[in-house]
Amino acid sequence: MNYKHRKGLSSVVGAVFMILVMIGALNLTIWTLRQQDSVSQAVLDRTNSQLNKLNENIMIKDVRLTTTAPLNRLNITVANSGGSTAQLASIYIINETASPKTQYNYTLTDTVNGRSSVKNIGTNIAFTVKDLTNYSVRIVTKAGNSAAINIGSLSTKPLQMIMFAIPSTLAPGGGNVTLMLSINNNYTDTAFPKGISANMTYSGACTPTSLYPCTVTKQSSSLLGNGTIIAPGSTALYKWVYNVNAPDGTTYTFTAKIVNGVVGNTATARVTLKLLDASRSNTAGTTDVLSLKFLSNVGLSIVAPGPFGTYTGSCSTCKAVWGVIVSNPTGTPFNVTKVSVSVISPPGGSSDSIFNGGCSPLNAKPGTGTWSCTANNVLQWSGSAITVSSYSSQSFIALLDPGSISSVNVPSSVVTATAFTTLGQYSKTGYSTQVVKQSGGGVAGSCVCSIYFQNSRNNFTDSATLQNQVIGHLNNIPSNGLVKMNITLAQMFTAGTFKINSASGAQGQTPAKIVVSLPPGFSVVSVDAKGGFNSNVNVTTFSDTSKLIVATRTSDITGPGGIPSGTLSFTLQVPTVQAKWIYIISAATAGTNQDNQGTPKVYDLGTFAEFALQVNPPP
Amino acid sequence: MSVVVSTLLLVAATGVIGSFLVAWANTSFGIQQINIANQTATKVNQVKESFVLENVWFNYTTPSPCCSGPKAYVTVRNTGDLAITVSKIYVNNTQIWSGSKSILIGQSGTIQTPVFNWGTGKVQSVWVHTLRGSDMKQDWKP
């Protein structure tokens, strides 16, 4: 062996050891890196866990109490608006009313999926909610998130309340008033789980009269809203309907209070009964008051025939009754200088007119001044001013021949009455009359049918006689006194051509009827004479004590020379009043009339008359 | 001959020194590995530890007459992946409780503090410290 060649052997051995040391160091380094990686992985896991926790967002959406056994347990709805499922873990309930406060803690096991809600949480925990007690409730999830809400007691937490009366002003005699109560749960973090109910009371000084008894009556089944659960920040409406009947000037104050609510936490609304001319809100401007007052201060009532016949030349018995009754329902007299009646119909032909211009009416009322037709379809009274005293009426009535209608029948022609007074000009419309065209050769097309009130029980004979008998109003009837009314239905053409029917017929005839409407407070003492109307005159009384008298013809009204008219006479007892009062009685007609030429042509009966009755209070 | 002897001596010396070096390196590496493993485990556990202050109930009354007075019941919920041990509780930066309260994964535990003064309506800063060194600090109003 040549030992010279073994000189580097120790270096080799040393290198082997160094390699072993290096391998050990390298392993340690690699292991250390792996350890570092495990730390990084733990951080990532923790971050993901935190993100999931942030993605869970629960809130207490609703709190109620159980209404079946076991009673008054919590019934909570929890919503999760996040994306992760929330596992409920605990509920903490603190009795905030107790002194010192008391805390209750229960375990929950419910699960609320993301973007959903779960009801009935808390119904199975042995905790009963006491009345008149405030609680705070907090629910905690396993992820550590929580949601809280307060449970309020109505006896310690006042709520915002507003109430309205609709309408707030009524005419004497009253009517229904709707009371709308708004209760606002203005606590955004407090629930009232038992539902909220409210009571209504009223107060007011009222002196009853025979007409107005001072009654305030709650309408059955009108209450809405009681027991409503009002969510935090929400509002609920409650409704009552009361019927109020009281004299002029009465004010009732309605007060709403929450059941078991805070003392003094109330809402009020006032209802006032006033005559229309005095009715206005406290905040109304002066202009509005004047406008309302003028529109309501002159009353106009109308008398008109229907059908009005057709002109056939001068006729002493063919003048129908047209009239305007002007009533003054105020304490201030006014003068009337002009009254007009105008009729408007679709033009059938240029020569057609319902009132002929230049007509010659008879002046029935007021007896002074002049009635004339200043133009086609305009009937006018003018003359020296006539004073209408306070709370009284004045009649303006004319007897007038029919006009000339040859082209068309006019089934409904609008009648407008206008009075020119020292308080201004007032009109009333909405009534109508009818006209039937000439049947040929100047022959009238229909009857002249007219209903009117008269001062005595007389058959119609001719226009000149009727001129002194027809009336439109009566003044100075004593309170609770008796008054006899005569209402006459007349056919003014000579008998033999036209008639008012009393029986049904093949051409659609139906018996004529007089329909009389009486305002509330009147009594029908007796039906004194029926004059061709059936013996069983029907009197219907409505809930407000207003009445309807219906009398049906039992014989045809054929005209002068035959049976020219029929008069219904009855005695009324007027209401008891404490101040002067004007009542309007209306008489309308139903049924048919016909001609007698060949196959009868049948037309509706449409004449009507209104009558003003002034009642004075006891001296 | 002398060359042979000197070579053998040199190889032997190298072997001895090398063996010593390898032994020392292995020991040193092992110690280092243990230290790193402990530190890593501590950090990983601390990262995995998660809890919330679920409730703090300030109350005057206690069942035992010996300890009546104002105190607090601190409820801690373990929301992490391993059990935790609450070691200290501070209120308004003053330590009011120390001990060892273990809370398992997903569970909550309530710690009753000794009597200390807190004012009704005044915000209290509650600070919970765990054995691993995690902290949770929240404000609560009695």
Chain A contact for B62, CB < 8 A? Answer: no
Chain B contact for A136, CB < 8 A? Answer: no
Q: Which residues pair with A253 in a beta bridge?
A: A203, A270
Whole-angstrom Cα distance, residue A10 to residue A18? 12
Q: Which residues contact B47 (CB under 8 A, 6 or more apart)?
A: A39, A42, A43, A45, A46
Question: Hey, what are A554's tokens?
Answer: 């039992």
pLDDT (mean) for A330-345: 89
Average pLDDT, chain A: 87
Given this model, what pLDDT does residue A50 score?
Answer: 87
Given this model, what pLDDT does residue A292 score?
Answer: 41
Predicted ipTM > 0.90: no
CA A610 to chain centre: 27
CA A591 to chain centre: 33
- Beta strand A235-245 pairing with A111-112: unpaired
Question: For A443-489, how does the pLDDT look when each residue is reduced to its tens digit (9 = 90+)?
Answer: 677 889 999 999 998 899 888 899 999 999 999 999 999 999 999 99
Helix (H) or strand (E) holding A53: helix A9-54
pLDDT at A415 over 90: yes
Say what angle helices B2-48 and A9-54 make with each other, to 10 degrees. 0
Write down the domain spans for chain B.
1-48, 50-140
pLDDT (mean) for A497-508: 91
Owner of token pair 């009020």: A268
Highest mean pLDDT out of A104-108, A154-158, A440-444, B3-7: A104-108
Q: What is the pTM of this model?
A: 0.53
Cβ atoms of residues A183 and A161 within 8 Å: yes
Whole-angstrom Cα distance, residue A108 to residue A66? 18
In this structure, what are the phi and psi dihedrals at residue B31, rounded to the nearest 5 degrees?
-60, -45
Given this model, what pLDDT does residue A309 score?
Answer: 83
Whole-angstrom Cα distance, residue A276 to residue A281? 12
Cβ atoms of residues A402 and A433 within 8 Å: no
Judged by CB atoms closer than 8 Å, whether chains meet at A35 and B37 is answered as: yes
pLDDT at A296 over 60: no
Angle at A245 between CA A329 and CA A484, to 5 degrees: 50
Shortest distance between the Cα of A149 and any Cα of chain B, in A, equals 15
In this structure, what are the phi and psi dihedrals at residue A614, rounded to the nearest 5 degrees?
-95, 125
Given this model, what pLDDT does residue A314 score?
Answer: 64
Given this model, what pLDDT does residue A323 score?
Answer: 96
Chain B residues within 8 A of A142 when measuring between CB atoms: 77, 79, 106
Given this model, what pLDDT does residue A284 score?
Answer: 39
Residues in chain A: 619
Dihedral Cα B70, B73, B74, B77, nearest 10 deg: -170
Given this model, what pLDDT does residue A18 score?
Answer: 92
pLDDT at A325 over 80: yes
Judged by CB atoms closer than 8 Å, whether chains meet at A10 and B21 is answered as: no
Strand, helix or coil for residue B38:
helix
Pick A32's closest partner by Cβ from B25, B36, B54: B36
Judged by CB atoms closer than 8 Å, whether chains meet at B47 and A46 is answered as: yes
In order, the DSSP letters of A288-353 are: HHHHHHHHHS-EEEEEE-SSB----S--TT-PEEEEEEEEE-SSS-EEEEEEEEEEE---S-TT-B
Confidence of residue A348 (pLDDT cuts 50, 70, 90): low
29-48 in chain B: CB under 8 A from chain A:
29, 32-33, 36-37, 40, 43-44, 47-48
Cβ atoms of residues A76 and A62 within 8 Å: yes
Tell me which residue of B92, B95, B89, B65 sits closest to B75, measured CA to CA: B89
Based on the number of CB atoms within 10 Å of its own CB, is A47 exposed (0-12), middle (13-18) or buried (19 or more)?
exposed
Q: Which of these ranges, A312-316, A531-535, B89-93, has the smallest mean pLDDT?
A: A312-316
- Beta strand A608-616 pairing with A473-478: parallel
Judged by CB atoms closer than 8 Å, whether chains meet at B54 and A144 is answered as: yes
Residues of chain B with pLDDT under 50: none
Chain A residues within 8 A of B51 when measuring between CB atoms: 144
Q: Which residues contact A72 (CB under 8 A, 6 or more apart)?
A: A65, A66, A128, A129, A130
Pick A24's closest partner by Cβ from B29, B52, B77: B29
User: Other C-beta atoms within 10 Å of A287: how many?
Assistant: 8
- The dihedral through the CA atoms of A343, A344, A346, A350 has a sign that is positive
Tell me which residue of B102, B79, B82, B45 sits closest to A54, measured CA to CA: B79
In this structure, what are the phi and psi dihedrals at residue A234, rounded to the nearest 5 degrees?
-105, 170
Given this model, what pLDDT does residue A221 score?
Answer: 65
Question: For A159-218, how does the pLDDT look when each residue is reduced to its tens digit (9 = 90+)?
Answer: 999 999 988 888 777 788 999 999 999 888 999 988 899 999 999 998 887 778 888 998
Given this model, what pLDDT does residue A410 score?
Answer: 82
Cβ atoms of residues A244 and A216 within 8 Å: yes
Judged by CB atoms closer than 8 Å, whether chains meet at B18 and A17 is answered as: yes
Given this model, what pLDDT does residue A279 score?
Answer: 43
CA A619 to chain centre: 39
Assigned CATH topology for domain B50-140? Immunoglobulin-like (2.60.40)
- Beta strand B108-112 pairing with A547-552: unpaired
Given this model, what pLDDT does residue A441 score?
Answer: 61
Chain B residues within 8 A of A36 when measuring between CB atoms: 40
Confidence of residue A423 (pLDDT cuts 50, 70, 90): confident
Question: For A19-69, how does the pLDDT look when each residue is reduced to its tens digit (9 = 90+)?
Answer: 999 999 999 999 999 999 999 999 998 898 888 888 999 999 999 999 888
Confidence of residue A285 (pLDDT cuts 50, 70, 90): very low
Confidence of residue A283 (pLDDT cuts 50, 70, 90): very low
Q: A551 — alpha (psi -120 to 50), left (phi > 0) or beta?
A: beta
Helix/strand number for chain A, H first, E second:
3, 40
Whole-angstrom Cα distance, residue A446 to residue A594? 7
Cβ atoms of residues A533 and A553 within 8 Å: yes
Given this model, what pLDDT does residue A278 score?
Answer: 41
Confidence of residue A589 (pLDDT cuts 50, 70, 90): very high
3-state helix, strand, coil in chain A (%, to 5): 10, 45, 40
Is the peptide bond between A307 and the residue preceding it cis, with omega within 30 degrees of 0? Answer: yes
Whole-angstrom Cα distance, residue A63 to residue A150? 9
- The dihedral through the CA atoms of A61, A64, A68, A69 has a sign that is positive
Question: Hey, what are B2's tokens?
Answer: 């002398």
pLDDT at A405 over 50: yes
Given this model, what pLDDT does residue A417 score?
Answer: 94
